[in-house]
Structure formats: structure tokens, C-alpha cells
A and B are shown apart, each in its own frame.
Chain A
Amino acid sequence: MQMPEPNPAILARKAEIVAALRAVLPGDAVIDAVSETRAYECDALAAYRCAPLAVVLPSSTEEVAAALRVCHAMGVPVVPRGSGTSLAGGAMPSADAVVLGVARMAEVLEVDYANRLIRVQAGRTNLSVTGAVESDGFFYAPDPSSQLACAIAGNVAMNSGGAHCLKYGVTTNNLLGVRMVLMDGTIVDLGGGHLDAGGLDLLGVVCGSEGQLGVVTEATLRILPKPEGARPVLMGFDRSEVAGECVSAIIKAGILPVAIEFMDRPCIRATEAFAKAGYPDCEALLIVEVEGSETEIAEQLAVIMAIARAHNPVELREAADEGQAKRIWLGRKSAFGAMGQINDYMCLDGTIPVSQLSYVLKRIGEMSRAVGLDVGNVFHAGDGNMHPLILYNANTPGDLERCEALGADILKLCVEVGGCLTGEHGVGIEKRDLMGVQFAPDDLDIQMAVKDVFDPAWLLNPAKVFPLASSAARRAA
């Protein structure tokens, strides 16, 4: 992975820059010792690392603004960071950049049940947002698998999704407002407790902008009353086409489950060996979950079970109680861990039209055999967001490169059939140089023009999202 050469003039001024940051921030909020900045050298795309110039950990919006003003004045790039769980290298620093982490800003600022919203500081973890309201029967819907660790800051920046987004949407659909600091230190409020924008929907652009437009310090989030209950069913099929048809049939019947998850045989076998959830050994497995009261669950499941039966499943299992429900989810939830037991893996995140499911799975199988690397598929089938896991061995020379090449080919396939490079993980550094596959130069140019507006000097997370060659002139200006 290519990163731009660090600016030697900035590296040479390190002491001066750190001193200027110390002058505006509390002593323990500026870290420059090499032994301590190492903790910030990568995110969850751990194959790529680089220690930053320094790290700042402000405790308030005003401190964020002060730090940004210093960096702006001195021309120093800034990489915003939440919890560092990005799988795309979004939070990976460069040697000439200051990492600005918001982890010390984790307070709940306001809970308003009557208006069904919560306002939090951006460093608060996703799960602890729900944690703050669940005893009163509410929850925050977007639930990335990393929710124990990842911060709302990163969720907003990546527009993260989760297992239940088929019904509840992703971050952008549950975000009402942000307080954000621009690179020059200006503090802006976008949105709030009301439900729509009064002018241009800037909030909509900021969500998913991967830390390139401003540093988000607070977020107002929609919270929802918890459903009365939920129940999964498990279905096994001997062909993935049939599983795909079953998904379509459920959707066409007018049922909107909260989740439809898919696993293929390599994934099923790996999870069975690891978690022993009692999954059938078949070509394709679906977990479909519906919510509501007992009556409603029964009503929806009757339709779903009838559709499943019409597709000749090799296995069809409705959870009879909480314990069985847990077992049905057990394998799915341990799928990533199970694959990790076998080997190192790279997790892709392309989205495809649901109608292309079986074709894409077939092609991935062929490509995987041709390269000689195993691929397991586990993903959100209702919305076509695939997560092919390519297994490789980091200790075998050349394996990572072969894995990345296969990954790129799979993502190109996703775009070819009408989908996109990333459904929820973001572009970061990982998919940056594939952007030309999905977008024409004009499509990218107007996106970069949006960055020009928010961050004219291209100091915020500059070497991400756009192909380095496309952004070179702007970054140099």
C-alpha cells in the first residue's frame, strides 16, 4: 500500500509543533514519546502501520478547536481517531500527521425520551449509547459487530451499519445532528432535535466522509423503544441459488425481517469446528429474524416458514426458546473468530444487488480456486452487503499480495454486477486506489470539490478515500 512521502519540513519542526500543542492543551493531552505514539500506529487493518508525529487527546470541543487551530496555522495534517477499529485503514496515520483521538470525550450530554433522542460526546462507544437508555426500554439501532469497542465518532465518519439495518437503517438514518470542528478551528452545529435540514443537508454529507471534512465532537442520535421480542429461524439449502431465491420471495411477500444473514459451506464448516452450534453441513444457510409480540412473531414466521418449505430446505429450525435462539445466532456471531482460527483473513465488504447473489458466489468460488486461496462468505443477505473472507498466511511470502489481488478482483466483480466497493467499512486507504472502478473522473472530482469547501488546504486525513494520483494536485496545493 503506497502512502505519500511524509513532508520533511514538518518532521523537522516536530519539537516546535508539539510545543505549540502543549501551549493550548492540558499536559497529559499531548503525546509525543515514540514508545507511546506506537499505540496509534494502526487501526484494525493491522497489516499497515506508521507511527504519527504526535497524538492529542482533547477533552472538549474547545480543546479540539484549539488543537486544530495550531495544526492549521502550522500546516500539519490531522488524522481523527475514534477507537481505531476501522477495517479500511481510515484511522491510520502518516509520519507527518497529528492523530486527534476523541476517546476522552465519552459523556452522555442529554437523554430525551419524549423526543426519542440522545446527545453524546463522539468518543462514546456504540454499545454504551444503548447502555445508557436500555434500562428505560430504549436502544440505539445501528449495531456494528465491533459495537463494544467502536466509537460513535467512527460510526458517523464511516456511516457504519449492523446486523439489524435491514429494518432500522445505518448510521446516517439514525443521526439527527452533530457538533463538528472544521480544520481551521470553526465550530459548527448541523441538525439537532428536529427531523430534517432547513437548508442543504450538510449533515448527510458529513456522515460517511471518513474524517475528511471536520472533527465530530458530539452527536445527536435517534433512539427507539425496544421491540417486545425477537425470534430467529435457521434454514439450510443445498444450493446457494435457492437460498437467494428464498430471500427474494420473503421480501416480495411483504415481510421485512430485522435480519437475513447468509453463510456458505466453508464458513459453516469453520464455525462448526469452532463453535459447535449444530449447523447442518449444507451449501447455504440463512438466519432470518423477526421482531414483535408473540402474536406478531407467529404471524410473520408462519409466512416465512411456508416460503422456506416451498424452497425444499435440507434443514428448517424455528427457535422454540431463548436458548435455541442463542444457538442459532452462536455460529453466525463466531464466524469471523472461527475463520481467524484457520488462518489470517482479509474481510471484504462489497455490496451487490440481491438478485446477483448466486452468480457472484459462483464467480467468487471460481476465482478463489484459480488463485488457490480459500474464501468463506458470511453476510447480510437482505441488503446484499457481502463479507467474503479471504484466508491467507501472513508468514508466507507473497500471500498477502495474492490475497489483496484476489480481493480487488472480487470488489471489481461487485461493481460490475451493479454494486459497490464498500457497503459499511469505508474506503480508507484499503480501497482508495480502486475508486476509479466505480467512479468516473468527474464523479470523483466533485466529491473532492466538497473536501475543498470544508478543508481547503487538504489537511484532514488527506491521503484517504481518493486515489492518490487523483488527489495529488489538491494535496500539494
Chain B
Amino acid sequence: MNMEQVTDEAGLAALIASREAPLRIVGGGTRGMVAGNAEPLSVAGLTGVTLYEPGAMTLVVRAGTALAEVERVLDAEGQRLAFEPADWRGLLGTSGAPTIGGVVAGNISGPRRVAVGACRDFLLGVRFVDGRGRVIKNGGRVMKNVTGYDLVKLMAGSWGTLGVLTEVSFKVLAKPATEATLIRRGVTAAEGVAALTVGLGTPYDVTGAAWSGGAALLRIEGMAGSVTYRRDALARLLGAGWDAAEGADSAALWRDVRDVTPFAGRAGVVWRVSVKPTDGPRVLAALGDPEAVLDWGGGLCWLLMPEGADVRAALAPFGGHATRIRGHDPAPVFQPEPAPVAALSARLRAEFDPKGLFNPGLMT
């Protein structure tokens, strides 16, 4: 199939203004999700860092820029994207280079989300082309901005259904000097989440709280003396049976949680369920304790399920939502919304994309 390519915003706007047939928006093409047979439109040609001011913690970058490139630029100044975007290539069996626009479109946020916020919380501004071919800007490059409606949050996690992102700006943070993880092996999900809850309820700034492979993990980051102090204080509180991993060993553990490595290459349908943290183990129990990785203190459940399992029925008593990330299944990819909310979302889509061009049907 043909692939439409664009290399600048004006060209993209012109293409969309005259376009009548649906498009499948592709950044690096590593996040699956956007299936269907619409003609692909690649935005991977919109690349480059527009502005980076480490002293102001601000980065502005074109949406097609590879995530790896963004991370390299930040790393050179000892900074990073604090929301810890995941790499789903292993999980989904995709190849290619994840782009920063794809990260924003999916609001892709890793373990640190539980402490510091999601991609949408660090996103300061966006530029995008709407379905009429108009170039729109919202937000900006400064850290506090309440001028007009916050469409920045709306675009994050809209999976390309409202417009094609061309440029994004972020608040970035310094990389901490070091990190440590407390580990308790051989615990059930319920035991694990109970311990994570204790950790997250302390003033010790836990920046990761997960249960994976039967182990509860609590991460602490910061300056060396502070990490030692908080690690020890937390260990005293949690009691016996906890080991510690430091530095690179600790980082490796969190890469695996972030990228859901335990499910890579495994058969089955992958579901991503978001609930109140203490409901995580209850959802697992309701589903007969399938293979799972719990992040965000229990609130983010990655499930490996057989085809046709009714995850949403099991979830219903708890609220929250389930998204199918990988695999075939008759159930819709995104959680169906209550009627009045679905009506608002549908009308917003009709305003942003009146010709129905962008990833049609993906989120509905």
C-alpha cells in the first residue's frame, strides 16, 4: 500500500485540507493499536528539536522525532522525560523507532506516573493539524499556563483521532544521582499491593510501586544520602524479608515493568486495565488470577488473557477501564463510555475532524 509522507507542517496542512479518504496516522508504527485498511500517513519526517533550555526545564520538539533521539539530547544535559515512556516493541512484536508524537498520542506513561504524573502532565504545548487542515496551537512552552481551554490534555491520549500532532513541548526534569529498589519476592498480588500501599503512604517519595513475577517492588530516587536514608526508613517500616537492588540493577527491574517484558513473545491477548490501586488484586481475583503485572501501586494491571475473555464484565463492579493493547478479540479496543460521555466525545471528534479522516473507528 501507498504511504503518504510529509516533511513539514504546511505540507501536511495542505494534504489534509484537500483529503477526503480516511488516513491511518503513523509515527514509528511501534504501538500497534491503529489497525484498519485506511491509507497510512507517516509523520516520521517531521523531525528535530526546536528549542531546548535545560535551565528552564523546557524542550520543544517536532512530533516525528525518535524517542531515542529525544532521550539522547536530554541525557547529555543530565535530564529526562520524567514520566518514563515505555517501549512496546517487545510487547507487541513491532519494529521501527518509537516517535515522541506517538508517545503523546497514546499518553504513554511508565511506573513513575504514580508519583510525578503522566505524559499529559508534563506536556506544556502542542501544535497539530485539525481535520479541516488548519494548523492549531494550544498551550505553549512555559510551565504555568491557563490561557484559554487546555486542549493539550485532550490531544494527549487521543491516539491521533483529533488531529495530527506536529510539535510538542515538555517540562523535563533532572535525572537523579541514584536509585534503589526494595524487593519482596514470593508474594501474592494482594500481599504485594498491601505493601505498595504502605510505601506510597509514606513521605519517602516512592517513585515506583509494582508487583511483577510474584515480587513487590518499591523504588526510591534522588541524591545519594537521601536515597540511603529513605531506603532504610522504608525497609524498617516494611519489616523483614525485603532485599535491595541499587543503581543499574534497580533500573533494569523498572525497565521490565515499564515495557511489560514478561509478556513479550507470549501468546494471548494483552489487556491494560486502569482502576483504583487497591482494586488491582480484586480485578485479578475476579478474572481467576490470570498472569499479570501490576504497576502504579496496583492501579495499572497488565493482563495476559485468552481470546474471548470478558475482562470488562469482571471490571464493571470496580469502575475504571480496560484497553486491549494486543491480540484479536471481538471486544472493542477501547472501553465503551456511558452514553452522555460518549455523546460528548463523538461531538468533539466531529468538530475536530468533520471529514472523519483520522484513524476512523479507533476509539469508538
A425 to chain B, nearest CB (A): 7
Tell me whether A251 and B55 are in contact in the complex, defined as CB-CB below 8 angstroms, given that A115-B278, A194-B320, A196-B274 are known contacts: yes
Q: How far is the CA of A353 from the CA of B171 in the complex (A)?
A: 11
Q: B residues within 8 A CB of A115?
A: 276-278, 299
A454 contact set on B, CB distance < 8 A: 344
Instruction: Determine if A435 is an interface residue (Cβ-Cβ < 8 Å).
Output: yes
Residues in A whose Cβ lies below 8 Å from that of B149: 205, 208-209, 447, 450-451, 465
Q: Are A196 and B348 in contact (CB under 8 A)?
A: no
B222 partner residues in chain A, CB cutoff 8 A: 296
On whether the beta carbons of A447 and B148 are closer than 8 Å, the reply is yes
CA distance A279 to B225 in the complex (A): 32
From the candidates B174, B334, B345, name the one contacting A256 in the complex (CB within 8 A): B174
Contact present for B144 and A204 (CB under 8 Å): no
Residue of B nearest to A431 (CB): B147
Residue from B57, B233, B276 in contact with A194 in the complex, judged by beta carbons closer than 8 Å = B276
**In the complex, which of the residues B114, B148, B158 has the most CB atoms of chain A within 10 Å of its own CB atom?**
B148
**Residue A121 at the chain B interface, CB threshold 8 Å:** no
- B113 and A195 within 8 A (CB): yes
Q: Which A residues are CB-close (under 8 A) to B210?
A: none
Does residue B226 face the partner (Cβ distance < 8 Å to A)?
yes
CB <8 Å contact, B120 and A227 = no
| In the complex, B78 has a CB within 8 A of chain A | yes
Q: Which of A12-20, A24-32, A413-421 contacts B (4 or more CB under 8 A)?
A: A413-421
User: Which residue of B55, B77, B335, B337 is within 8 Å of A354 (Cβ)?
Assistant: B55
B347 touches A383 (CB 8 A): no
A327-369 residues with Cβ-Cβ distance < 8 A to B are 351-355
Contact of B352 among A116, A202, A353, A446 (CB under 8 A): A446
With A207-B150, A453-B351 as contacts: A202 and B56 at CB distance below 8 Å: no
Q: Is B296's beta carbon under 8 Å from chain A?
A: yes
Most buried by A among B145, B158, B296, B351: B145
Once A161-B144, A192-B319, A353-B58 are accepted as A-B contacts, the answer to whether A114 and B201 lie under 8 Å apart by CB is: yes
Interface: A312 (CB within 8 A): no
With contact pairs A195-B274, A438-B147 given, residues A200 and B142 touching in the complex (Cβ less than 8 Å): no
B347 — which chain A residues lie within 8 A by C-beta? 453
CB–CB A384/B334 < 8 A: no
**Contact assessment for B140 and A186 in the assembled complex, using a CB-CB cutoff below 8 Å:** no
Q: Which residues on the A side are within 8 Å of B117 (C-beta)?
A: 169, 173
Shortest B110–chain A CB gap in Å is 12
Which residues from A are CB-within-8-Å of B177? 254
- Taking a contact as CB atoms closer than 8 A, the residue among A227, A248, A423 that contacts B145 in the complex is A423
How many A-B Cβ pairs are below 8 Å? 265
Give the docked Cα–Cα distance between A89 and B271 (Å).
Answer: 46
Q: Which B179-238 residues have a C-beta within 8 angstroms of A?
A: 197, 200-203, 222-223, 225-226, 229-230, 233
Quick one: which of B114, B176, B225, B335 has the most chain A CB within 10 A?
B225
Q: State whether the Cβ of B135 lies closer than 8 Å to any Cβ in chain A.
A: yes
* Separation of A194 and B334 alpha carbons in the complex (Å): 16
**Interface: B286 (CB within 8 A):** no
Distance between B33 CB and nearest chain A CB, rounded to angstroms: 13
Q: Pick the contact of A202 from B173, B175, B226, B345 — CB < 8 Å? A: B345
B140 touches which of A202, A420, A453 (Cβ 8 Å): A420
B227: nearest chain-A partner, CB-CB: A296
Alpha-carbon distance A208/B149, docked complex (angstroms)? 6
* Chain B CB within 8 A of A398 CB: no
A residues in contact with B118, CB < 8 Å: 195-196
* Contact across chains for A443 and B138 when beta carbons are under 8 A apart: yes
Give the distance in Å from the alpha carbon of A195 to the alpha carbon of B161 in the complex.
21
Shortest distance from the beta carbon of A104 to any chain B beta carbon, whole Å? 25
Q: Is the CB of B351 within 8 A of A450?
A: yes
Closest to B79 in A: A254
Using Cβ atoms and an 8 Å threshold, which residues of chain B touch A431? 147
The reply to whether the CB of B134 lies closer than 8 angstroms to some CB of chain A is: yes
Interface residue ranges of B267-307 to A (CB < 8 Å): 274-279, 296, 299-300
Least CB separation from B334: chain A residue: A199
User: Is the CB of A225 closer than 8 A to any CB of chain B?
Assistant: yes
B130 at interface, CB cutoff 8 A:
yes
Minimal beta-carbon separation of B43 from chain A (angstroms): 19
What is the CB-to-nearest-CB distance from B236 to chain A, in angstroms, rounded to a whole number? 13
For A172, list chain B residues within 8 Å (CB): 121, 150, 153
A384 pairs with B229, CB closer than 8 A? no
* Contact A198 B335, CB 8 Å, known A205-B154, A384-B56, A450-B348: yes
Interface residues of B in 106-140 (CB under 8 A from A): 107, 109, 113-114, 117-118, 120-121, 130, 134-138, 140
Please tell me if B53 contacts chain A, counting CB pairs below 8 Å.
yes
| Cβ of A249 under 8 Å from chain B | yes
A427 at the B interface (CB under 8 A):
yes
Check if B229 sits within 8 Å of A293, measured CB to CB: yes
A91 at the interface (CB under 8 A from B): no
B146 interface contact, C-beta 8 A: yes
Please name all residues of chain B whose beta carbon is closer than 8 Å to the beta carbon of A421 when the two chains form the complex: 147
Do residues A254 and B174 form an inter-chain contact, with CB atoms below 8 A? Answer: yes
**B70 touches A (CB below 8 Å):** no
Is B156 part of the binding interface, using a Cβ–Cβ cutoff of 8 Å? yes
- B276 is contacted by which of A189, A192, A424 (Cβ under 8 Å)? A192
Q: Which residues of A contact B141 (CB under 8 A)?
A: 353, 418
Smallest CB gap from B274: residue in A: A194
- B157 touches which of A116, A200, A354 (Cβ 8 Å): A200
For B148, list chain A residues within 8 Å (CB). Answer: 427, 435, 438-439, 443-444, 447, 465
Question: At the interface, yes or no: A170 with Cβ under 8 Å from chain B?
Answer: yes
CA–CA, A116 to B198, complex, Å?
Answer: 11
Q: Is B355 an interface residue (CB 8 A)?
A: no
| Cβ–Cβ < 8 Å partners of A447 in chain B | 138, 148-149, 151
CB atoms of B55 and A226 under 8 A apart? no
Kindly state whether residue B143 has any CB partner on chain A within 8 Å: yes
Do A198 and B274 touch (CB < 8 A)?
Answer: yes
A190, B117: Cα distance in complex, Å: 18
Question: Does A266 touch B at the CB level, under 8 Å?
Answer: no
User: Most chain-A CB neighbours within 10 Å: which of B174, B323, B335?
Assistant: B174
Tell me the smallest distance from the CB of B61 to a CB of chain A, in Å: 15
Besides A196-B107, A199-B337, A296-B223, 20 other A-B contacts (C-beta < 8 A): A114-B277, A115-B277, A158-B146, A170-B144, A194-B274, A195-B113, A200-B154, A200-B363, A201-B120, A202-B341, A202-B344, A204-B150, A293-B226, A355-B56, A383-B142, A427-B148, A440-B137, A451-B149, A453-B348, A465-B148
Q: 12 A-B residue contacts at CB 8 Å?
A: A115-B276, A192-B319, A195-B296, A198-B323, A200-B363, A204-B152, A208-B149, A256-B173, A293-B229, A355-B56, A385-B143, A450-B348
Closest 9 CB pairs of A and B: A204-B153, A198-B321, A248-B55, A254-B174, A193-B276, A423-B144, A383-B143, A449-B351, A296-B226
